[in-house]
Amino acid sequence: MEKRKLGNNGLEVSALGLGCMGMSWSYGQAKDKQEMISLIHAAVERGVTFFDTAEVYGPLENEELVGEALAPYREKVVIATKFGWEPNPGDSDRWSALNSRPEHIKQVAEASLKRLRTDVIDLFYQHRVDLNVPIEDVAGAVRDLIQEGKVKHFGLSEASAQTIRKAHAVQPVTALQSEYSLFWREPEQTVMPTLEELGIGFVPFSPLGKGFLTGKIDANTKFDSTDFRNSVPRFSEENRRANQALVDVITSYAAKHQATPAQIALAWLLAKKPWIAPIPGTTKLSRLEENLGAAHVKLTADDVRSLEEASSKIKLEGARYPEFHQKLVGR
């Protein structure tokens, strides 16, 4: 597996990482723990060194899963986790309260270290920007954790260019994690020029459009009652039908390259910039192997341009988040 560098402080990761959220949370019922441990081991054996989790996934259970699974390989892998939420029992979404106060960040770090069975967090992201806490204070708290040897690298998620600059001035930001795919290309205008200027890596989550770009979802697909895509406007039956045109374009390119639509979507991201490391998630070994096969699909600059021109002609329907979560991005 090819390696890539995120940021200017020496963080090297596999070109494709593994997003672990769906193993415990969000995409239907939590999966069998031992099966997921076996899947994470399979990823390591196939060259994946970059694993993504967060305290809120589960909540808490996903960090415990990742910590247990990666304990035998700890020196060989990079574990990223996130802070910035706190339980809010009175709300229907019990983790809807943001909290990036410095003292809370440090408490979360201690708890995450225990769940992850490690003495250092490789990459510690602010999960969402908290407007009640100056980003300079957030960066300062993570800087303290880095100086104490409890964290190696600082990251942000779904932050605006302005916020990234302010944070970076206090503690260099190693990576930004935000949604980015052929299904959502806004970062090209809003943050990627800033990342390139400052030397910050980019970790796209949902690089397969929450599964849509695999070609395995259509207007007739029924999601589990606990699957968060039921609440995503872009995944309404009507919008899935309209957005199928994008999948058709990607599928046509896949046929030319003897690849799958998922592999083309990931190969496109890998071809965009050498400092991009996507983290597709899966709970199936066959999908893991399919995704990792994208690293062997080499798109030329002409391929990328042609794919973008064709996909840009399609008007995509539906917001990528429900209203509450939409308010928390790009701040």
How far is it, in rounded angstroms, from Cα 251 to Cα 261?
Answer: 5
At 266-292, the pLDDT tens digits run: 999 999 999 999 999 999 999 999 999
Q: What's the confidence (pLDDT) of residue 92?
A: 59
How far is it, in rounded angstroms, from Cα 221 to Cα 34?
Answer: 28
**Dihedral of the CA atoms 90, 61, 77, 179 (nearest 10)?**
-40
**Contact 307/247 with Cβ under 8 angstroms?**
no
At 217-268, the pLDDT tens digits run: 999 999 999 999 999 999 999 999 999 999 999 999 999 999 999 999 999 9
Q: Is residue 296's pLDDT more than 70? A: yes
Q: What's the confidence (pLDDT) of residue 94?
A: 65
**Contact 203/279 with Cβ under 8 angstroms?**
yes
Q: Is residue 90's pLDDT more than 80? A: no
The residue-averaged pLDDT of 281-306 equals 97
Catalytic residues: 57
How far is it, in rounded angstroms, from Cα 212 to Cα 182?
Answer: 10
**Count of other CB atoms within 10 angstroms of residue 184:** 17
At 141-156, the pLDDT tens digits run: 999 999 999 999 999 9
- Give the domain ranges of the chain: 3-208+272-297
pTM over cut 0.85? yes
Pairing mode of beta strands 85-86, 97-98: antiparallel
Residue 41: burial class (beta carbons within 10 Å; 0-12, 13-18, 19+) = middle
Q: What's the confidence (pLDDT) of residue 93?
A: 67
At 46-76, the pLDDT tens digits run: 999 999 999 999 999 999 999 999 999 999 9
Q: Is residue 162's pLDDT more than 80? A: yes
Q: Is residue 160's pLDDT more than 90? A: yes
Q: What's the confidence (pLDDT) of residue 89?
A: 67
For domain 3-208+272-297, the question of CATH label 3.20.20.100 is answered with: yes
